């Protein structure tokens, strides 16, 4: 998740008044096998997302118009790989095989990236800023219901790698230089929004433990109505990012 300039309405870490799982550490919370399975799924999905982000940034660097831009993307790709390593190491630490944890999410994430392959440099920047940030918002929402140890790790790997400000600067400059570019990029960003939300919903629906985490059971206080509100907050954050880019939502 390459960009995550956290919007104003993004969830924070659990409050001092947190109860249930959110008030526990991993050693306590993981005694529930369903919760353990949900966290393995979550870390597996995140780990493959970070690995895919690393690969994509390295590929996007080939489209960069200047050497400085290539170097910037290379630095961001390196940060994504470091995030992947942290997630991989955590899965190993809790007794899970990282590749097995990631495997259920490969098809969905690869499918998303195939369907949203950018045609040029600017589309690649918009995808990293808008598309990946939607996924990051989703994972932050889930993180608010995690045990303290897992929550800390998840929020750390969602930290901005520097792509947010870089993307905004480059896209706004391109629109200023050629205003017609804005219309094309706005359509592209809307497509990314739809694809990213659909992918998030499919991933959750396909994994029973993650579904339970979102709609009840191991996720204290989470219900179907709250899931709807969650996606509304994600949509609102997307609108703010579009405005930051100088694009109409």
Q: Which pLDDT tens digit goes with each residue over 190-244?
A: 898 888 877 777 777 777 777 777 665 544 555 667 777 888 888 888 888 888 8
Q: Which domain holds residue 85?
A: 29-245
Mean pLDDT of 73-77: 88
Number of CB atoms found within 10 A of residue 209's CB: 19
- Give a yes or no: residue 35 inside a domain: yes
Residue-level pLDDT at 19: 58
| Per-residue pLDDT band at 12 (split at 50, 70, 90) | very low
Q: Higher pLDDT residue, 225 or 66?
A: 66
- Give a yes or no: residue 42 inside a domain: yes
Which CA distances in Å does 86 have to 58, 93, 113, 153, 154? Answer: 19, 10, 23, 8, 10
Q: Looking at the predicted structure, is the pLDDT value of residue 44 above 70?
A: yes
Sequential DSSP letters for 187-229: HHHHHHHHHHHHHHHHHHHH-HHHHHHHHSSSSTT--HHHHHH
- Give a yes or no: residue 41 inside a domain: yes
What gap in Å lies between CA 234 and CA 136, rounded to an integer?
9
- Give a yes or no: residue 16 inside a domain: no
- By CB atoms closer than 10 A (0-12, 13-18, 19+), residue 33 is exposed
Residue-level pLDDT at 18: 57
Mean pLDDT of 37-48: 93
Q: Whole-model pTM above 0.85?
A: no
Residue-level pLDDT at 15: 47
- Give a yes or no: residue 238 inside a domain: yes
| Per-residue pLDDT band at 172 (split at 50, 70, 90) | very high
- Give a yes or no: residue 7 inside a domain: no
Q: Looking at the predicted structure, is the pLDDT value of residue 6 above 70?
A: no
Token pair of 214 as six digits: 């979102």
Quote the percentage of the chain above a pLDDT of 70.
85
Q: Which pLDDT tens digit goes with each residue over 177-188?
A: 999 999 999 999
Q: Looking at the predicted structure, is the pLDDT value of residue 157 above 90?
A: yes
- Give a yes or no: residue 97 inside a domain: yes
77 in Cβ contact with 58 (< 8 Å): yes
- Report the run of H or E that residue 94 belongs to, with start and end: none
- Give a yes or no: residue 193 inside a domain: yes
CATH number at residue 106: 1.20.1260.10
| Per-residue pLDDT band at 11 (split at 50, 70, 90) | very low
Any residues with CB less than 8 A from the CB of 68 and at least 6 apart, and which?
A: none
125 in Cβ contact with 61 (< 8 Å): no
Tally the domains of the chain. 1
Residue-level pLDDT at 7: 47
| Per-residue pLDDT band at 40 (split at 50, 70, 90) | very high
Mean pLDDT of 54-58: 89
The residue behind tokens 């630095």 is 75
What gap in Å lies between CA 125 and CA 164, rounded to an integer?
9
Torsion of CA 210, 213, 216, 217, to 10 degrees: 100
Q: Higher pLDDT residue, 145 or 26?
A: 26
Which CA distances in Å does 5 have to 55, 92, 142, 186? Answer: 21, 29, 17, 19
Residue-level pLDDT at 21: 84
Q: Which pLDDT tens digit goes with each residue over 130-151?
A: 877 888 888 888 888 899 999 9
Mean pLDDT of 84-100: 97
């Amino acid at each position: 998740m390459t960009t995550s300039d956290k919007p104003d309405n993004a969830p924070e870490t659990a409050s001092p008044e947190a109860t249930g799982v959110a008030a526990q550490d991993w050693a306590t919370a993981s005694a529930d096998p369903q919760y353990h399975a949900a966290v393995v799924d979550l870390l597996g999905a995140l780990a493959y997302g970070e690995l895919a982000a690393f690969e994509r940034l390295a590929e996007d660097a080939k489209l960069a118009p200047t050497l400085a831009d290539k170097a910037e993307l290379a630095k961001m790709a390196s940060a994504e790989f470091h995030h992947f390593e942290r997630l991989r190491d955590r899965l190993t630490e809790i007794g899970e095989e990282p590749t097995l944890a990631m495997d259920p999410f490969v098809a969905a994430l690869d499918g998303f990236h195939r369907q949203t392959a950018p045609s040029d440099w600017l589309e690649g920047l918009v995808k990293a800023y808008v598309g990946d940030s939607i996924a990051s918002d989703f994972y932050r929402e889930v993180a608010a219901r995690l045990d303290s140890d897992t929550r800390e790790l998840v929020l750390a790997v969602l930290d901005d790698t520097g792509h947010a400000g870089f993307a905004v600067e480059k896209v706004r400059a391109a629109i200023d230089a050629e205003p017609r570019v804005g219309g094309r990029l706005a359509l592209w960003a809307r497509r990314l929004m739809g694809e990213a939300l659909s992918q998030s919903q499919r991933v959750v629906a396909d994994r029973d433990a993650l579904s339970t985490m979102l709609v009840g059971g191991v996720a204290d206080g989470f219900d179907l109505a709250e899931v709807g509100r969650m996606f509304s907050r994600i949509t609102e954050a997307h609108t703010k990012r579009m405005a930051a880019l100088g694009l109409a939502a």
